[in-house]
């Protein structure tokens, strides 16, 4: 079945440590996204990528980094510069906007990151 | 940028009753409005979406209405069932080149009481 796989489901970070969250999709989607979700809040965009080897900052990119070396993979690194990393992280993908027009985003089941 | 407000933040209904969730948006150029359902510990799932050239869309017990003049759109769930209990998010996206971002509301926690 096609879908988006995020791993691990739970992750713990120590002070001063960088951690990387994995996101893989087999939907042949061009665009991929990373969101952060905090309790009682909507989803906030961290980074997005429209094509391989290209990505743009979202609304809350500080303290995060990404890469897009393969179409199906878009890993997110939470660096030690992110002072409040505890959150639920969601990866999404879609066909991209042009020339496909508006296409719905499909989400993975998330990674919950906590601080030790 | 776009701002999306969603109301109410919590909603309890009796099984079989209808539920309505409303969202307003600020950017008149927005032209795509999806609704997502999120169950505990899971990622959001798209349940219905509407584009700005359509005023209403229905899929079985779920419908969405859009009022472009007033810049608001609503989710309607009829004949609610316990499995409809979840958090629902609305979102909006402006048109135009480079407009890839969705702006989300803060969510509505729907509880359907058996």
Residues 81-100 of A with CB under 8 A from B: 90, 92, 96-98
Output the pLDDT for position A100: 47
In whole angstroms, what is the distance from residue A10 CA to residue A103 CA? Answer: 29
Measured between beta carbons, which residues in chain A are less than 8 angstroms from residue B54?
Answer: none
DSSP B28: T
Residue B96: pLDDT band (50, 70, 90) is low
Distance between CA atoms of A64 and A77, rounded to whole angstroms? 6
Our CA-based measurement puts residue B16 at a distance from the nearest CA of chain A, in whole angstroms, of 27
| CB A94, CB A104: distance < 8 Å | yes
User: pLDDT tens for residues A2-51?
Assistant: 799 999 999 998 888 999 999 999 999 999 999 999 988 889 999 999 88
Torsion sign over Cα B13, B39, B6, A39: positive
pLDDT digits (tens, 9 = 90+) for B16-49: 999 999 999 998 888 889 999 999 989 999 999 9
State whether residue B103 is helix, strand or coil: strand
Q: What's the pLDDT at A102? A: 67
- What pLDDT, in 10s, does the model give residues A71-98? 999 999 999 888 899 999 999 998 875 5
* Residues of chain A neighbouring B49 (CB-CB closer than 8 A): 102, 104
Give me the percent of chain A exceeding a pLDDT of 70. Answer: 93
- Mean pLDDT of all residues in B3-15: 96
- Checking if the pLDDT of B89 tops 80, the result is yes
Q: What is the mean pLDDT of chain B?
A: 92
pLDDT for A13: 87
Average pLDDT over residues A109-116: 93
Tell me how close the Cα of B72 comes to any Cα of chain A, in angstroms. 17
């Amino acid at each position: 079945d096609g879908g988006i796989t995020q791993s691990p489901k739970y992750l713990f970070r120590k002070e001063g440590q960088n951690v990387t969250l994995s996101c893989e999709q087999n939907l042949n989607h061009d665009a991929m996204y990373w969101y952060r979700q905090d309790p009682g809040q909507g989803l906030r965009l961290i980074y997005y990528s429209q094509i391989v080897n290209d990505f743009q900052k979202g609304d809350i990119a500080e303290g995060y980094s990404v890469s897009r070396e393969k179409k199906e993979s878009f890993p997110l690194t939470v660096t030690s510069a992110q002072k409040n990393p505890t959150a639920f992280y969601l990866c999404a993908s879609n066909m991209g906007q042009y020339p496909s027009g508006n296409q719905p985003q499909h989400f993975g089941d998330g990674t919950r990151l906590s601080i030790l | 940028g776009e701002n999306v407000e969603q109301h109410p933040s919590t909603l309890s209904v009796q099984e079989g009753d209808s539920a309505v969730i409303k969202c307003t948006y600020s950017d008149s150029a927005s032209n795509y409005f999806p609704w997502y359902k999120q169950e505990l510990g899971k990622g959001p799932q798209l349940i219905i979406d509407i584009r700005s050239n359509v005023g209403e869309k229905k899929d079985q017990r779920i419908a969405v209405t859009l009022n472009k003049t007033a810049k608001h759109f609503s989710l309607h769930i009829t004949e609610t069932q316990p499995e409809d209990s979840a958090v629902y998010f609305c979102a909006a996206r402006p048109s135009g080149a480079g407009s890839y971002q969705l702006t989300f509301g803060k969510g509505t926690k729907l509880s359907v009481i058996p």
